A and B are shown apart, each in its own frame.
Chain A
Amino acid sequence: MKLFGWFGDKALHRGVHVPECKEQTAHLPIRRMNFPPVVIVPMSQHAGTPAIPIVKEGQEVVRGEPIARPDGFVSVPMHAPVTGKVERIALAPSARGDLSLAIYIRPYPAASQEVLYGEPQNIDQMSPEEIVRAVQETGVVGLGGAAFPTHVKMKLPEGRTVDTVVVNGCECEPYLTTDHRVMVEQPRAVIHGTRIAMKALGAPRAIIGVEDNKPDAIQALRDALAAESAITVEAVPTKYPQGAEKMLIEVLLGREVPSGGLPSEVGVAVFNVATLAQIGDLLPRRQGLIERVITIAGTAVRKPGNYLTVLGTPIRWALEQAGATEQAASVILGGPMMGPTISSLDVPITKGVTGILVMARDSFNSRHTIFPCIRCGACVEVCPLHLNPSRLGMLARKGRYEEMESDFHLMDCFECGCCSYVCPSHIPLVQYFRVAKQMNRERKARHAAASA
């Protein structure tokens, strides 16, 4: 029967089976983390233009109050995660390694966890445009890691329609269990958020896709749905990168998003479950996104778990709560396949951080020697987008970056890391591709500047 499953339409044909490592935290209920001594709210926690601070140094802010306004449509506001005083507005380290503008807030010692800011609003009477505006007001972005502003996805370009909202509950990255716990513990919020997304997009149906390694989440959602027929829950096979939106659309609906295109071109919009849970929770109360669930796990952590953390919590504080063992050597924000390793523990938790992995020195292969490509084709077999990573890698080694983009579809690569994962020669292919994309972007910017 397994064999038939391989050829069935519900399987991702490429990708890799990675060790799931989720048993560490999958059964642990979400716990609230204490307020840190200082909260750092960067103005750029999302894809798009950074927000603009609207508070002054020394000002008192109330938990939930807007402290920065969006700069344009592809931008979101920021809200005060804690009641306290704005200590300073200064540069703060980011996961990318650069410094960006952030608001430092020192919480009052007796600050409450309760959110008093906000007023109820009736979503049933709102038009799609009003919902899009209200979603922007909440500051919600894709909580699955990409941090793309959600309201932008809810606003369709002229002449496009969406017939299906796909809710992404795959969580295919190893170790992470935040979406899993959100589905198990807050299925009603997920479903409520799904209804709001359907209303904003005018979509008649929604499918919640959950990997089949989370039967309790599937059951919780089905129980909460009861007789609702417009929303269905479907189990999809567990395989990395099932949670990539193009992969998920193909597996659930059999539609292929064109190269360089958006899901709306095939009538689909994809949202992460945690994103919709937050929208379902915040929108009726007209509140802003100020906290999120993160998984703290890894091979060198004492108290792994799923923590509800205020945004802006420094990683150092989060690790003080969870504890790191003597072997702790590296910290990854997000999953081990795509998440960035950070170089400073002063980086704050932002909207796109799904988890913190604390890894021991011996948890990874020390893949430091790069051997020549032996043309085994393993990377070609696993690339979910049917690219030729081997060829791309060779071109990258020669610095032929433009050719990679014009002839070998470099820009389709979404850096899932399958090719690097399987490469027996330890070639850091994804790193090559990211350098290539960066070089091409810089070259184009130079040309644009020269011709302007």
Chain B
Amino acid sequence: MGPPEPGYLPQLCPIPHPGNRVGKPIWQELTVADLVLASAIMGALGVTLGGILAVAYRRLYVFEDPRIDQVEAMLPNANCGACGSPGCRAFAEKVVKGEVEPARCTVSTRAAIVQIANYLGVSAGSQEKRVARLACAGGANVALNHARYTGWQTCRGAALVAGGGKACSWGCLGFGDCARVCQFDAIRMNEHLLPVVDEAKCTACGDCVEICPKQLFSIHPVSHRLWVACRNLLHGEAAEAVCEVACTACGRCAADAPPGLIQIVHNLAVVDYSRNSLASRAPIERCPTGAIVWFDEHQGPVKGAEAKKITRKSALPVAVADFPRN
């Protein structure tokens, strides 16, 4: 487009504008006085607002310990909540105040904890490592499915549809919601569709505890080595009919354990961890199904000598309900 025709909007547009070739260019319209006035107004405004800011800075000043920033920088910033604080910043505030020991952060390495402790001049403290433990051992090779679930492939989704396909209504559904939710990659699903916790990576953040629709995960100190990997409340053969490694409430572990350590409550062996110091491998030895295990430091969960050997590698076939035909 060329320049506007001469006489285009002749006197009707007196406002000078760079785009408007009819009036004069803006720099020809402005006088020095205009510039001085504008600068004065803006300057005064700046000084006034700056003054308010300066007063507010003094009056409303909140002292924040600069060490909080330093400590926060030394934390892993996973914001996982395993320490019980809502995020790393909140934890750093508590550490600086001396309310908690640095070791409460279970995600940091020992070296990082010591670094924080040295920086603050406090003792690092000792926090026993805690891990997530799964109260089910019913993998696809030992636990029966009495229905086939084919919908949305998540545990939460399956649990809504008649509790999922598993015959044991307490058992792990095996769709791996826990493995997906774990931020630390500490849970993997094994070949029998059962989650396995990598204790070295687990930070006890509790995300798996929350996501599991069957509430099978719980957080325990690693010293809780005696573990009942079952939640089935059925008795004897009824329990074994749905899962080969279920607790049948035979009571042998309770009989072999020091008094009070293990009790049979509602057809399930329950370990009283307040007496954990009495725990030994003895109670697991006679368990017929291997439902009670001993978490060995190196070998992981170990079954007793009398537990039946599970040699089946493949998944059990789905025992779909036999429809009565008439």
Contact = CB atoms under 8 A, between A and B. Distances in A.
Interface in B114-160: 146-147, 149-152, 154, 156-157, 159-160
A162 B164 CA distance: 42
Contacts of A97: 159, 161-164, 169
In the complex, which range does the number of interface residues on chain B fall in? 20 to 34
B46 to A, nearest CB: 40
Given A324-B323, A368-B150, A438-B156, A343 B164 contact: yes
B324 interface: yes
A323 interface: yes
B325 interface: yes
B164 A91 contact: no
A98 B163 contact: yes
A418 interface: no
B169 A99 contact: yes
A343 B162 contact: yes
B233 A320 contact: no
B118 to A, nearest CB: 33
A343 B323 contact: no
B210 interface: yes
A49 B321 CA distance: 31
Given A435-B156, A438-B156, A328 B163 contact: no
B161 A435 contact: no
Given A98-B169, A428-B157, A343 B146 contact: yes
B152 A323 contact: no
Interface in A361-418: 366, 368, 370
A341 interface: yes
Contacts of B149: 343
B321 A431 contact: no
A321 B326 contact: yes
Contact of A320 (B156, B161, B165, B326): B326
A434 B164 CA distance: 15
Contacts of A320: 324, 326
Given A319-B324, A323-B326, A368-B150, A343 B163 contact: yes
A303 B326 CA distance: 9
A331 B156 CA distance: 21
B183 to A, nearest CB: 12
Contact of A99 (B152, B210, B233, B324): B233
Given A97-B163, A431-B152, A344 B147 contact: yes
B123 to A, nearest CB: 28
B147 A324 contact: no
A344 B154 CA distance: 20
Nearest to A366: B150
Nearest to A317: B324
A26 interface: no
B146 A91 contact: no
B270 interface: no
Interface string B308-326: 0000000000000111111
A341 B169 contact: no
Interface string B193-235: 0000000000000000010010000000000000000000110
Contacts of B163: 96-98, 343
B54 to A, nearest CB: 40
Contacts of A285: none
A216 interface: no
A370 B152 contact: yes
30 contacts: A91-B233, A91-B234, A97-B159, A97-B161, A97-B164, A98-B163, A99-B234, A302-B325, A319-B324, A320-B324, A321-B326, A323-B326, A328-B323, A341-B162, A342-B162, A343-B146, A343-B147, A343-B161, A343-B162, A344-B146, A344-B162, A345-B324, A366-B150, A368-B150, A428-B152, A431-B160, A435-B157, A438-B213, A439-B156, A443-B210
Q: Which A-B residue pairs are the 6 nearest by beta carbons?
A: A97-B163, A323-B326, A343-B147, A343-B162, A320-B324, A324-B323
Interface of A: 91, 93, 95-99, 302-303, 316, 319-326, 328, 331, 340-345, 358, 366, 368, 370, 428, 431, 434-435, 438-439, 442-443, 446
